[in-house]
Amino acid sequence: MSRIDKLFGLLEQATSQFHTAKAVKEQLLKQGFEELLLKHNWELKKGGKYILEHHGSTIFAFTIGTAFQAEDGFRIAAAHGDFPGFRIKPNAEMEAGGYLQLNTETYGGAILSTWLDRPLSVAGRVVLRSDDVFRPEIRLLDFKKPVLMIPNLAIHFNREMNKGVELRKQVEMLPVYGTATGKLTVGAFLQYIADVLEVSKEDILDYELTIYNTDKASFVGLQDEFVSAPRLDNLTSTQALIEGITEGVREEGLNMMIVFDHEEIGSRSKQGAASTLLTTVLEKIYLSLGMSSMDFANALEESLFMSVDVSHAYNPNYAAKYDLTNRHVINTGFAIKEASSQSYATDSEAIAIVQQICEKEGIAYRKFVNHSDSAGGGTLGAISSAMLPIRTVDIGVPIWAMHSSRETMGVKDYESLVDFMTAYYRL
Ligand SMILES: [Zn+2]
């Protein structure tokens, strides 16, 4: 299967952050990775490949070199498995003027207009009543068919709409799931969830359900040089890390990839990049291999962290929004992102390492900086490097329309990123 086909597969499966974690885990288990539990003592072996899931939506995977020594340090790369959109509130069902609608809130910084008039579905996790009150049953759910629509207004009701329209999350953005004129009534949505899971509606205690765009990924351009798809932010990086850690094997050192949850809402949670868990896991690996906490502390200076997330590609229709000398045209290489504010982790020594890897391997890259009058965005890079103080670089594939329900990237840029990730873990 080609690299792009594998990415398309992940785009299809990863319809919520829980499904991203599940899909990542399945790919790695097929590659011979062994699953660990945080509550156990670990018996790790040099040459071993391991995964650790954290609260269902964050995944760590690591490989230990056959000749790993404490002072070799570790090479980490992290992406995120969540994406902007909507979450269904509790008690969500409402009847409004003959229709059945869901009450939702937004998750992260979605471009709301791009969610209008799209066939939408629902995925996430549902938590059920159990015999042990401290261990409710958790089930993943994906409707896998369009069930929701957020209808736009016809232009005939607002002739000025092409000059910009305010969309209020609690008013214009509520999705419809049926008409109330037939046999459907309030409660039908929860019943549908219960039917899909084959459980009783009364046993559903809570849920974290995401609304997702059911559009399929497609190639665009005379030479199929673009890919347009939902959730490129940040499944491109997630799949590139999987390719990297499975293809890029080295004897010395420790390679680790992480797919964090909650990046789109600031990373400050137990599953996010601002969690202390990464340090705990690394230290536990050292101790499990018979090394000491001191060995772990000593290894920080030798170690590296790649924060891998999408970047902004130059859009010719909005030329004034981009930097004067660092415009990134699609299909000219992956991006190394820099910001003096550290909204992208920026450290010239670490960046030079990335450049030298690219030069050695003949991999295309471009440097990206935001226009000085625009704040741009942030990533988990700086957050994570504050928690784990090692050299950190922000890199990723440039895309158009970041946080649209459908984003666009270049095929060659994705190839460059995968080549880089493989070289990073191998050299
Ligand atoms: Zn992102």
DSSP conformation letters of 156-194: GG-TTGGG-----TTTTTPPEEEETTSS--TTHHHHHHH
H-helix or E-strand spanning residue 242 = helix 232-247
Cα(359) to centroid(ligand 1), Å: 26
Cα(416) to centroid(ligand 1), Å: 18
Cα(239) to centroid(ligand 1), Å: 13
Distance CA 102, CA 93 (A): 5
Question: In this predicted structure, what is the pLDDT of residue 376?
Answer: 75
Question: In this predicted structure, what is the pLDDT of residue 181?
Answer: 81
Cα(355) to centroid(ligand 1), Å: 22
Q: Find out whether the peptide bond into 234 is cis, omega within 30 degrees of 0.
A: yes
Cα(396) to centroid(ligand 1), Å: 9
Distance CA 385, CA 391 (A): 7
Question: In this predicted structure, what is the pLDDT of residue 101?
Answer: 98
Cα(29) to centroid(ligand 1), Å: 25
Q: Which domains does the chain have, with CATH numbers?
A: 3-83+230-426 (3.40.630.10), 85-213 (2.30.250.10)
Question: In this predicted structure, what is the pLDDT of residue 289?
Answer: 96
* Mean pLDDT, contiguous 10-residue spans, the chain (427 residues): 96 98 98 97 96 95 96 95 97 96 97 98 98 97 98 97 96 96 90 97 97 98 98 98 96 95 88 89 95 94 95 97 96 95 89 98 96 85 86 96 97 98 97
Quickly count: other Cβ atoms within 10 Å of residue 255's Cβ. 23
Query: Rounded to two decimals, what is the model's pTM?
Result: 0.96
Cα(141) to centroid(ligand 1), Å: 23
| pLDDT digits 0-9 by tens, 29-42 | 999 999 999 999 99
Cα(70) to centroid(ligand 1), Å: 32
Distance CA 283, CA 296 (A): 6
